[in-house]
Chains A and B, each alone.
Chain A
Amino acid sequence: MTEISMARALNEALDMALASDDRVVLLGEDVATTGGVFRISDGLLERHGAARVIDTPVAESGIIGAAFGMAVAGMRPIAEIQFLGFSYPAFDQIVSHVGRIRNRSNHRFSAPLVIRMPYGGGIGAAEHHSESNEAVYVHTPGVKVVVPSSPADAKGLLLAAVADPDPVIFLEPIRLYRAVKEVVPEGHYTVPIGEAAVVRQGADVTLIAYGAMVRDATAAADALAVDGIAAEVIDLRTLSPLDHETIVRSATATGRVVVTVEAHRTGSVASEVAALVQERALYSLLAPVERVTGYDTVVPLKRSERHYMPGVDRIVAAARRTLEA
């Protein structure tokens, strides 16, 4: 068994989806000849042909609108938007059509497409390339939003997204593409959409994260363990629909919750988790819920990005505040 990166795991999943279902096509900017700006679709053009691995003109609304039409006609398109921060020209297609056709047509039509978008900061990229605006899609009815944090989950969640009868926005944390390698099961498997994972068990405090922040939350749990504090770490994996039960169960058990996102603070998934915890677990809480987030600012460029990104230290500090409360 060899260890592979998330980039490689995603490539395997795309290859497998294309090989196993001729309704699957891949389309987006630079996805075919160059294999995508992050090389996630590397080699797929050669293996599956130009009819199914398609370089499109630079037109995000066109990509999503065309993929939507393909999906309605019975295909399983996987559309790539080069960065989450470039998805806004396609926002109308996603909100007004992709998430609505099942409702609008009373189930007569559906749009089972996957929209892959690299997202998130931490690599000192240019403006618009570090965005973490997933909350706007979480707020959109009719689409599901999935974020993997490990190579194995990336493959299983992507294959689940392709098989899902409804549209799935699949966010890929840029800084995890090649940061870690792990053994990934061979062959076709799925990780269920809508289920969070308890990646570490602990009785003292619950750390809730997703995407790249799972690594930071896990590192924070390591740091807390040195002082004998047992932190439970939850990886949400799916942001919409959110796995309420796993969150509430852990919050009820530990009584202390820190939720961390690299997104802007106001109206973030962290805000939703905090609201849920106070609705469903208030009387079990021993401290206020802490949100460790980015700020309500534009993500700063390389020289000061580190001041924006919530890291291990801020998570540890927040966890200690809940323990001191």
Chain B
Amino acid sequence: MDLLRLLSVDGTLVGAAPIDVAETRRLFAAMVTARVYDRKGSALQRQGRLATYAQFEGQEAAQIGSAAALRADDWMVGTYRDAAAMWFHGYTWDNLLLGRMGDERGGAPPAGVNILPPSITVGAHMIHAVGLGWAERLRGSDRVALTYFGDGATSEGDFHEAMNFAAVFVTPTVFVCENNGWAISLPRARQTASQTIAEKATAYGMPGVLVDGNDVLAMVAATGAAVDRARRGEGPTLIEALTYRMGPHTTADDAGRYRPGDDVEEWRTRDPIDRVRQYLQGADGWDQGWEDDIAALAGSEIEAAVERAESLGPLSPDAMFDRMYARPTAVLEDERRAMFRDEGTP
């Protein structure tokens, strides 16, 4: 299967750019900002200020490039590693951080932003994007639903059920597989005997596209085509974004136990941000001062978000009883009283 690539590794444009330089600068700035967040997330975890954190370094183009193809009211259903895409589509840093701090208030995107809180179980969420898009179509809306998942998730039965339902019911769903090479310790080659993940689409009767996931322009082009197709009512598309997980699975993982450092260094030469920087340099769309300003602004915005998240008032100890149903049941009210009795509080 051919690989869609518009920017070569050295930043040379090798195809038709789907967006102009101004829009490319916007996506570059977003990728730089996302990386600042990602490194901050790891640092905060080491300081004990976040629970386990899942880095996405190396996957910025796969996430930002695909998210850029969405309309503001489209649905996004991703995983714990999709913070860059979620933020770009409207989730706040505050709430992404709150979730990692172990606070359920982080699970809500702002009003009007249609992003489900990230799925922790692997694979079950892809079918949700099928139902979301299906509902929009039934209600006469042209919103589409995009779902992110990793190469590991394609081994789950729910991948099959989601792909099959989407194709059978012609739902406006865009499947974006961020093939980052690793499912914790298991390499892609042992996840599936298929040569590519994209070719699995053929069996379901939908188009599959293999894309250089570290090429933001290719991601914009491929996802844009898939989103347009879905919005026209022509059904789902599977996009395989070939990328690489530069970090461990999470801060609780030691990737040195199972993967050679050479591979990581090899992929570092294909960094998704370096590539766009070189491209923009050639198009007179970049200078160091501008990038430094972006990184500085990102740093201060994210630092402010950390402060807001850390200084948010504590959750009421009985808030868990209020989140289960629209109104707590009588049984939960009994349990709430019992909790307060046992804890000796109100």
| A59, B161: Cβ atoms closer than 8 Å | yes
B171 to chain A, nearest CB (A): 8
| B75, A103: Cβ atoms closer than 8 Å | no
| B108, A65: Cβ atoms closer than 8 Å | no
| A75, B109: Cβ atoms closer than 8 Å | no
| A96, B124: Cβ atoms closer than 8 Å | yes
Tell yes or no: B227 within 8 A of A by CB.
no
| A92, B121: Cβ atoms closer than 8 Å | yes
B4 to chain A, nearest CB (A): 28
* Contact stretch, chosen from A80-88, A105-113, A120-128, A310-318: A105-113
| A68, B165: Cβ atoms closer than 8 Å | no
Which residue of A70, A142, A194 contacts B131 across the interface (Cβ within 8 Å)? Answer: A70
| B325, A166: Cβ atoms closer than 8 Å | yes
Which residue of B107, B125, B133 contacts A106 across the interface (Cβ within 8 Å)? Answer: B107
A202 to B109, CA, bound (A): 54
Chain B residues with CB under 8 A of A97: 119, 124-125, 128
A325 to B164, CA, bound (A): 60
Interface digits, A39-75 against B, CB 8 Å rule (1 contact, 0 not)?
0000000000001101011010110011111111111
Interface size on A, residues (CB 8 A): 49
A278 to B131, CA, bound (A): 45
| A106, B105: Cβ atoms closer than 8 Å | yes
| A61, B158: Cβ atoms closer than 8 Å | yes
* Contact stretch, chosen from B59-67, B134-142, B295-303: B134-142
| B116, A165: Cβ atoms closer than 8 Å | no
Tell yes or no: A321 within 8 A of B by CB.
no
* Contact stretch, chosen from A148-156, A212-220, A238-246, A300-308: A238-246
| A101, B75: Cβ atoms closer than 8 Å | no
Which residue of B106, B124, B320 contacts A93 across the interface (Cβ within 8 Å)? Answer: B124
Most chain A CB within 10 A, of B164, B330, B334, is at B330
A48 to B129, CA, bound (A): 25
| B164, A59: Cβ atoms closer than 8 Å | yes
| B116, A65: Cβ atoms closer than 8 Å | no
Chain B residues with CB under 8 A of A65: 124, 127-128, 130-131, 158, 161-162
| A75, B104: Cβ atoms closer than 8 Å | no
| A69, B135: Cβ atoms closer than 8 Å | yes
A sample of 18 inter-chain contacts (CB < 8 A) reads A61-B161, A62-B161, A62-B162, A65-B128, A65-B158, A66-B130, A69-B130, A70-B132, A70-B135, A72-B135, A74-B139, A75-B135, A89-B157, A96-B121, A96-B124, A103-B323, A108-B109, A109-B117
